[in-house]
Amino acid sequence: MNRPRAPRPSRTTPTRWSIALPGTLMLAGATLLFTPISALAQVCLGSPNAPGQFSLTGDANITERTNDFGVGVEANVPGPLGLRAGVSLEEDASDERVARFEGRVSYDIRSNGLSICPVTGADYTSRSVNEISTTRIRIPLGLSVGGRIALSDDGPALIPSARAGIAHRRFTQESITETDNSLFVIGGGTISVDEFFVRGEAGLDSADDVDPFFSVSIGVRF
């Protein structure tokens, strides 16, 4: 991205986004409500980590404009707190590559039944083109819900999860700074087998003209 995007004007007519967001949340909520599940801290975010465990992940994030591939560390510290840090290499349509750094914090407010977590964090990217520096910071604030479904005794487990919230973006180029806010919704599931897991997610963000984004992570727990 060579120039920061200007904030989008508000819309007063129904859009695909205004229809998709409530429907997606209702479907995710109904699925979790009527499925026999057990809670484990941080399953709200699709993480199979037990309290005191951490995992290493390989991540791929796909959108219409950019793709990035990287690694991450997820920790479920003893108690309700969950942490994640990651770094990835982002590539846009111009084949320019730039590092993206991310951090996330979640707090499990319900350990019995459904796992419900407020979650926040930050994404940061910085690039320089023709001696012009551009930085982008994205700060999401949302609520996530999830649970763990045992597919067999001492066997694989399915961890469905969904989250929604608001994201604040800040673009800075030289002496120009622009900000905007958007709504997002993300849903997905994790298959956990022994110490290994695969997680897939899909989401929508109102800042991206309702173009969906997808992510896949492969991880191992310690």
| Strand partners for 170 | 137, 179
Residue range 51-78: mean pLDDT, rounded: 93
Residue 5 lies in a domain: no
Contacts of 176 (CB under 8 A, 6+ apart): 4
Does some domain include residue 95? yes
Q: Report the C-alpha gap between 46 and 131 in whole angstroms.
A: 41
pLDDT recorded at residue 153 = 82
Whole-number average pLDDT of the chain: 83
Strands 81-92 and 66-76 turn out to be antiparallel
* Amino acid at position 84, single letter: R
User: Structural domain tally of the chain?
Assistant: 1
Q: Write the pLDDT tens digit of every residue in 83-133.
A: 999 999 988 766 677 899 999 999 998 766 689 999 999 999 988 777 788
DSSP assignment of 78-124 equals SSSEEEEEEEEEEEETT--EEEEEEEEEEE-S--SSSEEEEEEEEEE
Residue 2 located in a structural domain: no
What is d(CA 214, CA 212) in angstroms, rounded to the nearest whole number?
A: 7
| Structural domain includes residue 136 | yes
Predicted pLDDT at 119: 97
pLDDT band at 51 (very low <50, low <70, confident <90, very high): confident
- pLDDT of 147: 92
Q: Is residue 59 part of a domain?
A: yes
Residue 4 lies inside a defined structural domain of this protein: no
The residues, any chain, with a CB within 8 Å of residue 142's CB and separated by 6 or more, are 118, 119, 120, 163, 164, 165, 166, 184
Considering the chain, what percentage of its residues have pLDDT values greater than 90?
59
Predicted local distance difference test score (pLDDT) of residue 39: 46
Alpha helices in 108-170 (DSSP H): none
Encode pLDDT of 15-35 as tens digits.
444 444 445 445 444 444 444
Residue 85 falls inside a structural domain: yes
User: Domain limits at 144?
Assistant: 16-221
CATH number at residue 136: 2.40.160.20
Please indicate, yes or no, if residue 11 is contained in any of the structural domains. no
3-state secondary structure of 3: coil
